[in-house]
Structure 1
Amino acid sequence: MRRASFLSLILAAISTSAGAVDGSVIFNGTVLSTCLITIGTPGTLAANAGFTALSSDEAGGISGTATILTTGLGYNVSTAAPSAFTSAPAGGDDSVTFASSYSASGVTSLLDVVGTLTSPLGLGLTNLNVDLTATKSAGHFPAGVYSAVVTVTCE
């Protein structure tokens, strides 16, 4: 008898579950407010006619690029010029001052902002062009390969 009632229960369960049954799976997610900087192409420094300045703004110079993605409001961008070249020929670093600047397009539109000044960023993708000028106050830049790093900051 026990076997018969157990079998009856199984058959009853099978017959009642023959219809379609739906269930819902819930998904949750959070996008945190962030500022993401992606460095693009490096810049190129070119000498002025008197070899007293190396700049991405001179003929033959090229701006460096970066993209900034913001997922929240309240972020600002700035750049910091180096205090010295990361590599230079002998005497290349003597009596040199550096200055950076930047321009932006995309959700933020800026033109030739002095690097140390902070500028508000729009919400979304900003394309940044970064420029660097190295000026020699005494003498001229000797022949050789020069490298320098400009830091882009989003805060």
Structure 2
Amino acid sequence: MDYALQIDLDLEIKMKSRVSILFGLLSSSFACAAPAYAASESVPFYSEVQDSCTITLDSPGVMAAEGFFKLSSKAGSGGAGRVDIFTTGRGFNVSTAAPSAFVRSPAGVGPTTFSSSYSATGATSLANVPGLVISALGHGYTKLSVDLTAETTGVVFPSGAYQADVTVTCE
């Protein structure tokens, strides 16, 4: 065999060996590489709830005749008005104020005296409290039932539609 050919063959074999060794090293280094680590971070959320008291109307009340001189939500087919009260803290109080006159009534209604009362369930438990009495509310949800009575003296309530508004106060 020619000496130059022998050198070319030796060189070719050495190059193939080096490529094989290099490829082997690279593939083993990838196979043995340390696994990638996942990263995580907490994202904080903050909030500050202010003290508040919210009143929403659930249902209006209905006054029914109790004789000729009295209309009352506690009479026969009458029914209490209901409000939902939501408080985010303690220290809130509730009361009701009866109206001084009808918002709507037929002509001929004489002088009328109004009185309100209320009861509560939920975060607050109360029964038949006179309207102007201030009561502490519990924290959370309170269902307030409000009653209204209208009385006249000497003048019969004439037929027709009546409306009176009781003010519920949370403070």
Shorter-chain TM-score range? 0.7 to 0.9
Where do 5+ consecutive residues of structure 1 fail to align? 1-17
- How many residue pairs match? The answer is 136
Q: Is the 8 A contact 1:95 1:138 kept in 2?
A: no
Residue in structure 1 matched with residue 98 of structure 2 by the alignment: 81
Q: Is the 8 A contact 1:89 1:144 kept in 2?
A: yes
How does 1:42-53 map onto structure 2 within 5 Å? Answer: 42-49=60-67, 51-53=68-70
TM value normalised by structure 2: 0.77
1:153 aligns with 2:169: yes
Residue in structure 1 matched with residue 39 of structure 2 by the alignment: 21
**Whose radius of gyration is greater, 1 or 2?**
2
1:113 aligns with 2:129: yes
Residue in structure 1 matched with residue 56 of structure 2 by the alignment: 38
SS in 1 for 2:113: strand
For residue 66 of structure 1, what is the amino acid of its counterpart?
A: V
Residue in structure 2 matched with residue 90 of structure 1 by the alignment: 107
SS in 1 for 2:116: strand
CA displacement at 1:74 relative to structure 2: 0.5
Q: Pick the structure with more helix per residue.
A: 2
Residue in structure 2 matched with residue 129 of structure 1 by the alignment: 145
For residue 133 of structure 2, what is the amino acid of its counterpart?
A: L
Find the aligned partners of 1:123 and 1:143 in 2 and give their Cα distance: 43
Find the aligned partners of 2:75 and 2:101 in 1 and give their Cα distance: 19
Q: Which has the higher contact order (CA 8 A, sep 6+)?
A: 1
Q: Is the 8 A contact 1:35 1:71 kept in 2?
A: yes
4+ residue runs of structure 1 moved beyond 4 angstroms? none
Where do 5+ consecutive residues of structure 2 fail to align? 1-35
SS in 2 for 1:40: strand
**Identity in percent:** 53
Find the aligned partners of 1:91 and 1:71 in 2 and give their Cα distance: 46
CA displacement at 1:20 relative to structure 2: 2.3
